[in-house]
Amino acid sequence: MMDQATRTRKIRIGGVEVGGGAPVVVQSMCATRTVDIDKTIAQTHQLARAGAGIVRIALDNAKEVPALKEIRAQTPGVTLSVDLQENYRIAGKVAPYVDKIRYNPGHLHHIEKSKTIPQKVKWLVDIARDHDLAIRIGVNCGSVAPAFLEKYPGDQLTAIVESAAYHCALMEEYGFDRFVVSLKDSDPAKVLEANRRMTERRPDVPLHLGVTEAGLPPDGIIKTRLAFEKLLAQHIGDTIRVSLTLPNERKHEEVVVGHQIIADVKAGRFISVPDFGTGMNIISCPSCSRVENEKFVELTQQVKELTTYASQYRITIAVMGCRVNGPGETDDADLGLWCGPTTVNLKKKDRKVGNFTYEDVLPRLRSEVDRLIAERSPAMN
Ligand code: SF4
């Protein structure tokens, strides 16, 4: 495994060391429904067997905590992280069953509006300290804290780096340093730049790298490599996750690919794809416990096949697995699809086109792609 520079501080997450010269840790996330205990236990083992040092599980509400408790009991030795999503208050209930909590600074304002952000962070720090947990400050370009968007209008990269730096400072003010930071986006160029800037800003803070919604392999792997190869070669990144759209039985391939990228960088093998990203760009989430219909992965593959005829056009299509992040994460795409239990919502930028069955959405998508192509002059291809 590749050792990173000793510049970052070393922290412990469960039984795993991150940063400070420790080998880069590959993480992954369960895509099974958390309440489906047997499947989630099986997937946790599947990911750990493939070499995941940390396995993340998403919880939406307190009703899912008994499932997490059972998952914890049946996965001894696996370092578990939990994603708090919009409900940071769930941290108090999940803390006994995990080794790390991940919160998104851009989601803290959603609940308990009478409390300040520092009050909320202090509460999370106290929970972490009491339960021997680490924390990930997980900043995402798709959900930047409103205060930082207002402070740096039109400069999203500065907004996310400053938001992360602010949360680092809050943690330290409360005497807590067992944290890592992630700065994610679906655009590898932004991931590259954001992490370089964060390293300049806070060289001591361990970083978790990720290109969100990288999509189906092989394109999703190429997008991830575009950012990871350069960053890892500069000793930036102490943990990584490769977010690929894969069916559950192949989910462990994320981990295999992560280890392969690390090995390639260590051996000086870089995959150069100079023209990648100049044509059709399909973004799709890796799915998680929130995915509303397992047809999501198949739908993404169908979107890829259906749009092959337009591969030379610079069009971005986003396919997302749920109603929670789907509406927001598709806003910047030319065309967006987000899945519900029985239907798919189709959008053109931030405007809703309609709600279609999983079958009917494909011909409608085709006509929207045709319309986009017709609207564009050849120079804009
Ligand atoms: S878009 Fe929804 S289903 Fe997909 S990874 Fe994000 S939260 Fe999970």
Domains of the chain: 11-267 (3.20.20.20), 281-380 (3.30.413.10)
Longest dimension (CA), the chain: 61
Token pair recorded at residue 270: 């870089």
Instruction: Compute the distance from residue 6 Cα to the ligand 1 centre, in Å.
Output: 34
Mutate to test the pocket of ligand 1, among 30, 296, 325 (most ligand atoms within 8 A of CB): 325
Tell me the per-residue pLDDT of 225-264, one tens digit each, with 9 for 90 and over. Answer: 999 999 999 999 999 999 999 999 999 999 999 999 999 9
CA 271 distance to own-chain centroid: 23
Q: Are 47 and 251 in contact (CB under 8 A)?
A: yes
Mutate to test the pocket of ligand 1, among 254, 283, 320 (most ligand atoms within 8 A of CB): 320
* Angstrom distance (rounded) from CA 55 to CA 289: 13
From the list 187, 139, 172, the residue with the least C-alpha distance to 318 is: 187
* Angstrom distance (rounded) from CA 330 to CA 324: 11
Confidence of residue 80 (pLDDT cuts 50, 70, 90): very high
Cα atoms found within 13 Å of the Cα of residue 130, Cβ hemisphere only: 13
Q: Are 27 and 54 in contact (CB under 8 A)?
A: yes
Instruction: Compute the distance from residue 213 Cα to the ligand 1 centre, in Å.
Output: 9
Mean pLDDT score of the chain, rounded to an integer?
94
Closest C-alpha residue for ligand 1 atom 2:
322
Q: Are 182 and 210 in contact (CB under 8 A)?
A: yes
Element (H, E) at 365: helix 361-375
Which of 1-10, 18-27, 340-349 has the lowest average pLDDT? Answer: 1-10
Phi and psi angles of residue 300, each rounded to the nearest 5 degrees, phi first: -60, -45
From the list 183, 218, 178, 224, the residue with the least C-alpha distance to 9 is: 178
Instruction: Compute the distance from residue 167 Cα to the ligand 1 centre, in Å.
Output: 24
Q: Are 164 and 198 in contact (CB under 8 A)?
A: yes
CA 41 distance to own-chain centroid: 21
Tell me the per-residue pLDDT of 340-368, one tens digit each, with 9 for 90 and over. Answer: 999 999 999 999 999 999 999 999 999 99
Ligand 1 atom with the smallest distance to the CA of 213 is: 5
Confidence of residue 172 (pLDDT cuts 50, 70, 90): very high
Average pLDDT over residues 7-11: 96
Q: Identify the three-state secondary structure at position 356.
A: strand
Residue 283 pLDDT more than 80? yes
Mutate to test the pocket of ligand 1, among 143, 285, 338 (most ligand atoms within 8 A of CB): 285
Residue 309 pLDDT more than 70? yes
Q: At what angle do helices 65-73 and 37-49 cross, to 10 degrees?
A: 50
Tell me the per-residue pLDDT of 311-337, one tens digit each, with 9 for 90 and over. Answer: 999 999 999 999 888 888 898 899 999
Q: CB count, 10 Å around CB of 90? A: 21
Q: At what angle do helices 117-130 and 156-173 cross, to 10 degrees?
A: 50
Burial of 311 (0-12, 13-18, 19+ CB in 10 A): exposed
